[in-house]
Amino acid sequence: MFPGGLFNNPWHSWRSPNHLEDTQTIPEYDLFDNDMTSTPGPGNHSNGTTTPTQSQLDTLSPAAHAQPNAPASVAPSDPESEYDLNVWKLHAPSHHSTPEPEHLSTLNASTGKRAEPDTPMDLGTSTKSDVVPLLTSKCRYEEVDFSRSLRQGLYEKEEVIQKLRKRIREQGRQNDAVTSLQSLLNEQERELSGLREAFGQTQSGQEQTARQYEMQLNELRKQFESSMQSHIDQLQTTRMAEIETRVQEEVTRLSSTLQAEKERELANIEQRYAQLKKSEKHLDTEMGSPAGLRPTRPQPSAPSDTSAGLCPTRPQSSTPSTPNLDAIKRIRRSRGVSKRTRLIRVDIDSNPLDLAGHEEETGEKAAPGTQDDHPTPPPVSAMVEAITKSVETTLRTLLESRSDFSVGSILRSSRRTPQRRRQENHKLQIEKATEPSYHRDFILAEVRHLFKDKLGIAQDIDFITHAPADTANVHAYEYEDGPSPDMDNIAFDLARNYSSPWNTFLLNFLLHEFQLRCACETWPIRKEDDYVEEILQERYKQLRTLWRNAQPKLTTKGGKKVDRPHVAETKTVLERIVVMKSEAPDDDLRSWKWLQRLINTLGEHGMSSEESSVENGIENVLRVKKLEWRRNIDKELEIVDLQRVLDKDIFCSQGSKPLPRKRAPDNPISSRAPVVGLPMALYDDTWILQLTECQRERLETQ
C-alpha cells in the first residue's frame, strides 16, 4: 500500500511510540556536564543544529517561507524521500490549525490565510503519478512542539539529580557519622589504653603489697613460732626443774627418813651389844674368876638364885646369832638404801647364864685356864649377801620378762588416796581451762592416730568389726594367774568399761606408747599422763559406743529381735473373725479357717516386710515387698486387710489407724531367705524350677 521508502525514513523511526524513551535515555554521568545546556531534539541530525519550534517559526519573515531551498534543509534530496515527506506533511495535524467540519483546510502560520484543501486521496490506493502534480507548487511546514517531552525529560533529570543529591547528602552524613564514630572509637581506645595502664599499675601495686604482706606474715609467723618455741622451752624447763626439785626433795626426805631409821636400828644394835659385853664383864666380876679364864660353874642351889637375881633370864634360841656392824655398814655403802627392804630386828640370844644353866644340867665342868666355849654363830654378812643376791636375781628376772611399761603400769595401778585424786582432778581441770584450743586439738588428733595405728583401722566406722577379747583370757588375767593382754594384737574387753583391769592395762600401754612417740618425735606440745589418760578413756568410750550400736540386739532366747507388728495384727484379726463367725454359723467360716491355717503355716518369716510410702501427696501407704519364693497369695491377704476395715466397729479404736497395703509388681524384692519345711503348694512354681536338685533337697518340702 505504502512505498517502501516510507518505512525506511528516519523520521518514521523517530515518530515511533517509543521515541520518547529512546530520545530521553541519557547516561547519569552526563547529567552534570549537560545540566545547563540544551539537548538536541529528534529533528537534529547534525551537530550544532536545532529543530525550530512553533514560536521560532512565528517570528520568521514571510520570505523565509518562500525560500526555494527551504525543503532541502528539512527533507533529503532524494525524490522518493521527498515525496514521502510531502505526503506526511499533508496528512500530519498542525498544532495551530483547527480542523473545520465542512472541508479540510490549513491555516498558514505566516500569512494567516486559509489554504485550499488538498485533494482528497486514498493513501492506500494513490500512486506516485497522481500526487506529484499537486505538490509541485506548494511547500508546507509543520510545527512540532517538543516542550512537553523536554519538560518531562528535564523533570526526570531533576528527579534523578535530587535523588543523587539526597544520596550524596546521606553519604556525607554517613561519612560524618563514620568520622565521628571513628573519633569516638579512637577516644575510647585511648581511654581503654589509659585504663589498661592504670589497671596494670594497680595490679603491680597490689602484687607488691601482697608480697609485702606475705613477707610480713612470714616474719610474724616466724616470730610467733620462735616465741612459742621459746615459751614452750621455758615452760618445759620450768616444769622439769619443778619436777626435779620435787623428786630431789622426795628423795632427800626418804633418804633422811631411812637414814634416821637405820641409824636408830644401828644404835639399838650397838646398845644391845654393849649391854651384852657389860653383862659378861659383870658376870665375871660376880663369879670372882679372872677375866681371861672361864668361870667355874656355880652350884645349882645358891649361885643359880644369885644369877637369877642379877640378870633376868632370856628365851632360849636354838640358833643364836651375833650381828656384825661392819658388814651392815659395808652393805649400806655398796648397795645403798633400799625402799623395799628394811632391817626389822636382830636376834641377840647369847646369854651366858643360859649357857651356864645348860652346862649345869649336863654336869660337865670346864677346865681351869680355858676360855668360854661359845658355839660359833653364822656370820650376818653372809646372810645379808645371800638375801641381796636373791633379791637382785628376782628383780633382774622381772625386768627381763616385762618391759618398762609393765613396771610403770604396776606403779600407776597403785591406789591413790581420795585427797590426792581430788588434787589431781582439780589440777587437770585448771590445765584444761587455761590451755589454748589448738593444744587440745593436737593431742586429740595424735590420740586418734595412735588408736588407728594400733587397732589397724582407717576410720571410726571400721571399729565395728573389732574382735573383743576372749572371756576366758580376761577372767584368767583378772582372777587367776593368767597371761597379760597381747600388745601386738590389742583386743579390748568391750563388755566392760575402761576401768576394768584388762582395759586399764591396755590403756596404760597406749599411754606409754603415746608418751614414747612424744619423746621420740619431739612434739612441741606435751601433756602429763593424767591429761592423756583421760583423753584415751574418752576415746575408748566413743569407740565402744559405736561398736555396741552396730551389734544386733538380742532377746532373752538369744535370737535377733525383729519387730513384726503387722504379722501379729493379721493373726489377731483372723482369730477374732473366726471366733465371730463361729458364734453365728456362716457359709464362709471354712474359708476363714483356711486363711488362718495358711497364715499360721507360713509363720513370721514367711510374711514379707513393708516400706512406708506416700501416694498423691495425701495418703500414707505401705508397699509390701515381694517374696520370690512364695506363691502369690495377695488376694487372700487383701481379703484379711479389707475385713479389718469393714468390721472396724468390732476392733478397738485406740492406737494408730491401719494403713492400706499396696501389692504391686514394681514393689521392691524382699531379701528374706526362703522358709524350709513348708508344703510344696506354698512355693512358687517358677522359682522351684530354677533351683538345683541340692537346693530342692534343702527345702525339705512336705
- Per-residue pLDDT at 40 exceeds 50: no
- Per-residue pLDDT at 640 exceeds 90: no
**How many CB atoms neighbour CB 183 within 10 A?**
10
> What is the rounded CA–CA span in Å between residue 421 and residue 412?
13
3-state secondary structure of 573: helix
C-alpha 446, offset from chain centre: 23
Look at residues 563, 557, 561, 660 and name the one whose alpha carbon lies nearest to residue 607: 563
Region of 336 (left: φ > 0; alpha: ψ -120 to 50; beta: rest) is left
State the pLDDT at residue 347. 43
> What is the rounded CA–CA span in Å between residue 28 and residue 166?
15
Question: pLDDT-derived band of residue 292, with 50, 70 and 90 as boundaries?
Answer: very low
**Three cell numbers at 126?**
494513490
3-state secondary structure of 661: strand
Question: pLDDT-derived band of residue 106, with 50, 70 and 90 as boundaries?
Answer: very low
Question: Per residue, what are the HEC states of 344-382?
Answer: CCCCCCCCHHHHHHHHHHHCCCCCCCCCCCCCCCCCHHH
3-state secondary structure of 622: strand
Q: What percent of the chain has pLDDT over 90?
A: 10
Under DSSP, the state recorded for 94 is P
State the pLDDT at residue 656. 61
Question: How much is the average pLDDT of 287-310?
Answer: 40
State the pLDDT at residue 291. 39
State the pLDDT at residue 234. 86
Question: How much is the average pLDDT of 250-270?
Answer: 79
* End-to-end Cα spacing for the chain: 131
Range with the lowest mean pLDDT among 111-120, 242-251, 688-697?
111-120
DSSP alpha helix (H) spans, 485-584? 501-520, 529-550, 565-583
Look at residues 477, 457, 474, 475 and name the one whose alpha carbon lies nearest to residue 466: 457
Question: How much is the average pLDDT of 610-636?
Answer: 70
> What is the rounded CA–CA span in Å between residue 391 and residue 394?
5
Question: How much is the average pLDDT of 423-431?
Answer: 81
State the pLDDT at residue 302. 38
Domain coordinates in residue numbering, the chain:
4-36+67-145, 296-366+377-401, 404-550, 565-699
pTM of structure: 0.29
Range with the lowest mean pLDDT among 5-9, 156-160, 173-177?
5-9
Bridge partner residues of 624 (DSSP): 610
Give burial (CB, 10 Å; 0-12/13-18/19+) of 332: middle
| CB distance 263 to 329 below 8 Å | no
Strand order across the 619-624 sheet? 610-615, 619-624, 661-662
pLDDT digits (tens, 9 = 90+) for 195-244: 999 999 999 999 999 999 899 988 888 888 888 888 888 888 888 888 88
Question: How much is the average pLDDT of 566-578?
Answer: 76
- Per-residue pLDDT at 266 exceeds 90: no
Could you tell me the sign of the dihedral formed by the alpha carbons of 35, 36, 42, 48, in that order?
A: negative
State the pLDDT at residue 349. 42
Question: pLDDT-derived band of residue 284, with 50, 70 and 90 as boundaries?
Answer: low
Question: How much is the average pLDDT of 98-120?
Answer: 43
> What is the rounded CA–CA span in Å between residue 332 and residue 540?
47
Torsion of CA 45, 50, 51, 52, to 10 degrees: -160
Bridging pattern class, strands 610-615 and 619-624: antiparallel
* 620 or 82, which is more confident: 620
**Three cell numbers at 567?**
504379722
Look at residues 319, 312, 322 and name the one whose alpha carbon lies nearest to residue 354: 312
- Per-residue pLDDT at 282 exceeds 60: no
Query: For the stretch 91-109, what's the b/e string if a residue is b when 16 or more beta carbons lie within 10 angstroms of its beta carbon?
Result: eeebeebeeeeeeeebeeb
> What is the rounded CA–CA span in Å between residue 309 and residue 546?
84
Average pLDDT, the chain: 68
Question: How much is the average pLDDT of 617-627?
Answer: 71
Bridge partner residues of 622 (DSSP): 612, 661
pLDDT digits (tens, 9 = 90+) for 646-678: 666 666 666 666 677 777 788 888 878 888 888
Look at residues 372, 352, 375, 361 and name the one whose alpha carbon lies nearest to residue 290: 372
- Per-residue pLDDT at 334 exceeds 50: no
Q: Which amino acid is residue 153, in one-letter code?
A: G
| Location of C-alpha cell 514393689 | 667
pLDDT digits (tens, 9 = 90+) for 442-496: 989 999 999 999 888 888 888 888 889 988 889 888 888 788 888 888 999 998 8
